[in-house]
Structure 1
């Protein structure tokens, strides 16, 4: 039995083992809170990495300073209720009574589907699971989705179609040094998952060829043997060019194709019509570079392909990933050491968060909410009739559109900041302002929380227990020995409390996270993401277990997928011909540049937590736009001055930053700021038809120095 530290003991200092709350590596660490020196009121913290199978004891700057937001004076410590247009402190009883009243009123007046639930990819597996159950059982609504829709949906849907299952990495991190060729497409691991970089450095030491595909010369591209600096949004076409070379030069595994795949003839017929010169013109990558990259991957004995948001956050992200998967199975580089495919997950629980019911079309264990057998099984676990389970809802941005249309009139947001993270942010902000009732559960007054009618204070990673699943599919246990500060509550406690007030207590009887996990285990049993064999006790002794793990007798530490068969019923992977196309938006006279967005090392998601860390905030105080000096000269921009960026949706203002490491036709803006610096005011809301991923990476824009705006206004 763990002994929780009381508030007085916490004030006196402590040492605890935990794990970083940020990226998908989920590095383990030890935090020691030391007594202040005489004459000082400030406690000192020492942070050290703990050896583990993923980061091997390494920490990046975010992990080293993660405690700062958890101990910030800006933390919410009691509920807030909006009165006379201002959020003011309240009691839990007052806040929960108001939620009970307004949820019931909304359901009675407009039906249960007028209520919506919006979750997050950083929630623990337990909270994510309970959020899905809460929406469908306590509220009876079909409208639930989460911000992970903007992270992994393209790769997840592509993996399901090609392999029959989606897991971030099909191999282990330990396989990276064994690969003789590594393709990193649209991923900047050096800034987004920096503690993984030693794996790639070791691969280079072992003789690997590293190929980076990115319109920017990032810190990751700096280690590449080949950098394919393509035009934004042409990844699928580039993969076609590489596939063309693989087939022409017989760098494919014919035996693997014959024995373990379907659809190759159709792919070969499609590629016969592809001309490499056309691919070069479309992508902006020279023919010889495309050919050399394909040769390096095809000829290598072992190889790994990694994709991330650069490829996936496009309106053809699903098929772009499928085309890279075509390369993987055409060469047979999967299911054996040093080989595989990986979607480099962004959020801390981006993998586990999408497996157990936060997505609009999913039930726990990666079950399909429209499949009658899946519905019957989960309903039996939840002790309801299958007919009581709502059908599938819509994706995250589509939920915002329904809010705007007032089909969703009441919304609960937990662990997310949709007014900043969604595309077409001005529409989203307008929609949220028009809600009948908005509840936000958060640690801070985020840009979304300040719009809420009720704000509920939640615990931080230092204070709550639960499991998270890292990018390689390894389930990890994070436990706390600290009592929650102030009046904060765990996410799952809040859900149980609301459910009880709505008369659904018998479905939410949980008193700790482990009880929730044990129900999750049963609910996932037999599903694609089967956690049944994983227990808290096993996680405490093992340090982490890969899923699927179907039995408590199963080792759960293999990690390699598809050694003998894929997850389709016939055991075979599926090829899929992909058209080469231009991005959904192409530059014109009014909007002559293509804008992409992404992350920087010191910040995470919409910055709600990292901007409350003084050390991290000091590294990047404000947002910026990266622009090539030649492009800046054409647009009369001075390095470091403020500019306005405008698209068909809206505009935002940031400071310019010159860089010759970006294409002249491309602009790059980080995604971690709200307000007038919010890049998503200008991003496109167009969605991938397969997975509903927005096209974040290819918005066309104009750019104008703010010092010229008055002159421009007078000239109109």
Structure 2
């Protein structure tokens, strides 16, 4: 009689969530260790049912453990000595940082030391980083890489609605929308586990409109694809708004009762010439009108924007215009209706709510508001006068470093040398610093320049909360001990505060204690987390903010009865299409846009350490239309020079008819010579200070290898 083979049981089972995009998919990671055969552990990964991804995982989530268990992890502190990073003790590293920060501030003032954070930090770490900058360092200079993610949508939501939360309703309502507009978002590659919501909507008869210069995997499912010229979103939406108003798709009852400023908007639209709109956008007038009618006649509808709309020097106004469409038709505050800014980073939402941004305090309070300052200062046990004022945005910090106004920089969870525009200036600036400290899991391009490198824990080891794109707060439990001498990022901040004689303000022994202080600091603010506790999160999986009390269920749908401005009304904003921040010319005749690919995340520091993900996209590339390639003598698979007035990037040519003839596309996940941001424009949105990543004027040509030196 045959016997069944014995089942191999895992040696460890970790319940966690993906560290990458803003969906924050829950997962189960099983670890199997061979019996003293010298082999490395193997892993099996599966999704856990949850309200956002419903148990789905994408290829990044399935392989996220590979970077967390990589042999390239930094496992001990290092200090640069005689030009080389050498292993030291934590005591030596912390003492060196404390000593240099104190001496720098003694010589040049508190603001000579700056802090640069990241949108993948937990809420606890993001909160503590803001407190560290303002209480331990007393510096006004703190910002983070989320400035490049959602700042345009955040400022637009705040101005229009009085609040910024990624989605105004739940993901589960997407299949109830009769018309969906996806503007500048490639969900199929950037948030693939959300795609079933949209396919379900199509099965229910929804009409899907995609606005993108490229024929992406998302555009392929659209009923209508508007292949707009990069940077022309404002003009496009003006054309759609004119059609909505002229053809009586306006919900006048909603407009009169719940908004203000419509008359000024209508006056602007009355003067609009649709032929001019078509010329500016590169689209047929009939296509624009068709899209507007589809959205206007639908009883329910949702609009989603992402970086394709937002990463422009007029990104704030572009999102404001899409919100004008939502308000004109009254498609908000009810089932199957709303707006969503599709967050890119894992904690892009929570990361900007509690103090990492230059102008913000916890709970989305404003650092220049006296009442907000007084409240947070009271929670922190200091006087309001001790809080510094507003600093500058992430890229502007790089400019100040280049001008020697900032002498020392502390970077946590970010890689600014790759993620910033005008990357050659950033590289030059960081090289000028008297002292650079980087806390990271790997020797990123930025860490390679550091004077001190501190090893931090990964998503498998670091407990804390994150807020997904819906505004749902989730608890990520720690599943395995920290490898080597790596420490939690929040613990590093507490240790450094002790070296700066501010340890009494940072007495935390675990992440939950930090969250409990965050709850109080956010209480009564726009982003009110007070009613959310670790105990509730364990029982309820996730809770939407605002949640003002422990018996409050959390706000699943916003604006059902009122908006968040003092008068309860939403605000229209008439918008004119600005002149391009950077025009094409004879020297730079092409428009370059950038973005993501499915297998990589942000600057690739983590995904390029995953063998499975790295193998899918080994090197950077440039998408170019066949006719454009022929004019510029570019062959498929050949090396291409992409050059702007700022610098040059060298990538592999990829000929495709899925892109406009006047546009090239280069992903953002590689550094050094393949870093697209060597050529991107640093022009900033005047409202939110978002750089103009998506429309840089460039020249393209076959890359010519420099002549080798003659060794004879």
2:232 alignment counterpart: 234
**Is the contact between residue 457 and residue 487 of structure 1 (CA under 8 Å) also seen in structure 2?**
yes
Using the TM superposition, give the Cα deviation of residue 35 of structure 1 relative to its aligned residue in structure 2, in angstroms: 2.5
Using the TM superposition, give the Cα deviation of residue 420 of structure 1 relative to its aligned residue in structure 2, in angstroms: 0.2
**Is the contact between residue 311 and residue 694 of structure 2 (CA under 8 Å) also seen in structure 1?**
yes
Distance 1:675 1:272, change over 3 A: same
Does structure 1 residue 497 correspond to structure 2 residue 483? no
**Could you tell me which of 564, 569, 574 is aligned with 1:567?**
564
Residues in 2 aligned to 1:639 and 1:88: alpha-carbon distance in whole angstroms: 44
Q: Secondary structure at the match of 1:281?
A: helix
1:176 alignment counterpart: 174
Using the TM superposition, give the Cα deviation of residue 662 of structure 1 relative to its aligned residue in structure 2, in angstroms: 0.2
1:713 alignment counterpart: none
2:596 alignment counterpart: 599
**Is the contact between residue 10 and residue 30 of structure 2 (CA under 8 Å) also seen in structure 1?**
no
Residues in 2 aligned to 1:586 and 1:406: alpha-carbon distance in whole angstroms: 31
**Could you tell me which of 494, 516, 540 is aligned with 2:538?**
540
Residues in 2 aligned to 1:654 and 1:534: alpha-carbon distance in whole angstroms: 47
Mapping for residues 211-610 of structure 1, pairs under 5 Å = 211-556=209-554, 558-610=555-607
Mapping for residues 55-66 of structure 1, pairs under 5 Å = 55-66=53-64
Residues in 1 aligned to 2:11 and 2:81: alpha-carbon distance in whole angstroms: 38
Using the TM superposition, give the Cα deviation of residue 571 of structure 1 relative to its aligned residue in structure 2, in angstroms: 0.5
Using the TM superposition, give the Cα deviation of residue 707 of structure 1 relative to its aligned residue in structure 2, in angstroms: 3.4
1:94 alignment counterpart: 92
Q: Secondary structure at the match of 1:215?
A: coil
Distance 1:709 1:303, change over 3 A: farther
1:48 alignment counterpart: 46
Q: Map Cα deviations across residues 19-74 of structure 1 (whole Å, 9 max, x no partner).
A: 00000000000000012378561321100000000000000000000000000000
1:26 alignment counterpart: 24
Q: Secondary structure at the match of 1:351?
A: helix
Q: Secondary structure at the match of 2:693?
A: coil
Residues in 2 aligned to 1:168 and 1:400: alpha-carbon distance in whole angstroms: 28
**Is the contact between residue 113 and residue 137 of structure 2 (CA under 8 Å) also seen in structure 1?**
yes
**Could you tell me which of 582, 591, 613 is aligned with 2:610?**
613
Residues in 2 aligned to 1:344 and 1:460: alpha-carbon distance in whole angstroms: 24
**Could you tell me which of 187, 207, 210 is aligned with 1:209?**
207
2:679 alignment counterpart: 682
Q: Secondary structure at the match of 2:346?
A: coil
**Is the contact between residue 282 and residue 582 of structure 1 (CA under 8 Å) also seen in structure 2?**
no
TM-score by length of 1: 0.97
Residues in 2 aligned to 1:281 and 1:708: alpha-carbon distance in whole angstroms: 40
Residues in 2 aligned to 1:661 and 1:451: alpha-carbon distance in whole angstroms: 39
Q: Map Cα deviations across residues 679-714 of structure 1 (whole Å, 9 max, x no partner).
A: 00000111000000000001000011013877xxxx
**Is the contact between residue 240 and residue 292 of structure 2 (CA under 8 Å) also seen in structure 1?**
yes
Does structure 1 residue 75 correspond to structure 2 residue 73? yes
1:705 alignment counterpart: 702
Mapping for residues 93-242 of structure 1, pairs under 5 Å = 93-242=91-240
Using the TM superposition, give the Cα deviation of residue 14 of structure 1 relative to its aligned residue in structure 2, in angstroms: 0.4
**Could you tell me which of 628, 652, 673 is aligned with 1:631?**
628
Q: What CA RMSD, in Å, does the superposition of the two structures yield over aligned residues?
A: 1.2
**Is the contact between residue 16 and residue 479 of structure 2 (CA under 8 Å) also seen in structure 1?**
no
Distance 1:38 1:319, change over 3 A: same
1:642 alignment counterpart: 639
Using the TM superposition, give the Cα deviation of residue 93 of structure 1 relative to its aligned residue in structure 2, in angstroms: 1.0
Q: Map Cα deviations across residues 526-563 of structure 1 (whole Å, 9 max, x no partner).
A: 0000000000000000000000000001112x410000
> Which runs of no fewer than 5 residues in structure 2 stay unpaired?
1-8, 708-712
Q: Secondary structure at the match of 2:80?
A: strand
Does structure 1 residue 655 correspond to structure 2 residue 638? no
**Could you tell me which of 30, 33, 36 is aligned with 1:35?**
33
**Is the contact between residue 152 and residue 311 of structure 2 (CA under 8 Å) also seen in structure 1?**
yes
1:5 alignment counterpart: none
Q: Secondary structure at the match of 1:569?
A: coil
**How many residues are paired up?**
700
**Is the contact between residue 79 and residue 451 of structure 2 (CA under 8 Å) also seen in structure 1?**
yes
> Which runs of no fewer than 5 residues in structure 1 stay unpaired?
1-10, 711-716
Q: Map Cα deviations across residues 594-641 of structure 1 (whole Å, 9 max, x no partner).
A: 000000000000000000000000000000011111101000011100
Using the TM superposition, give the Cα deviation of residue 581 of structure 1 relative to its aligned residue in structure 2, in angstroms: 3.2
**Could you tell me which of 663, 668, 672 is aligned with 2:665?**
668
Using the TM superposition, give the Cα deviation of residue 582 of structure 1 relative to its aligned residue in structure 2, in angstroms: 4.0
Residues in 1 aligned to 2:179 and 2:578: alpha-carbon distance in whole angstroms: 27
Residues in 2 aligned to 1:37 and 1:282: alpha-carbon distance in whole angstroms: 66
**Is the contact between residue 593 and residue 700 of structure 1 (CA under 8 Å) also seen in structure 2?**
yes
Distance 1:229 1:709, change over 3 A: farther
**Is the contact between residue 303 and residue 333 of structure 1 (CA under 8 Å) also seen in structure 2?**
yes
Residues in 1 aligned to 2:586 and 2:266: alpha-carbon distance in whole angstroms: 38
**Is the contact between residue 234 and residue 582 of structure 1 (CA under 8 Å) also seen in structure 2?**
no
Q: Secondary structure at the match of 2:363?
A: coil
Q: Secondary structure at the match of 2:133?
A: helix
Does structure 1 residue 85 correspond to structure 2 residue 73? no
Using the TM superposition, give the Cα deviation of residue 587 of structure 1 relative to its aligned residue in structure 2, in angstroms: 1.3
Q: Secondary structure at the match of 1:282?
A: helix
Q: Secondary structure at the match of 1:603?
A: coil
**Is the contact between residue 346 and residue 468 of structure 2 (CA under 8 Å) also seen in structure 1?**
yes
Residues in 1 aligned to 2:705 and 2:375: alpha-carbon distance in whole angstroms: 63
Residues in 1 aligned to 2:36 and 2:462: alpha-carbon distance in whole angstroms: 31
Q: Secondary structure at the match of 1:365?
A: helix
Residues in 1 aligned to 2:566 and 2:448: alpha-carbon distance in whole angstroms: 49
User: Any runs of at least 4 consecutive aligned residues in structure 1 with deviations exceeding 3 A, and if so which?
Assistant: 37-40, 707-710
Q: Secondary structure at the match of 2:348?
A: coil
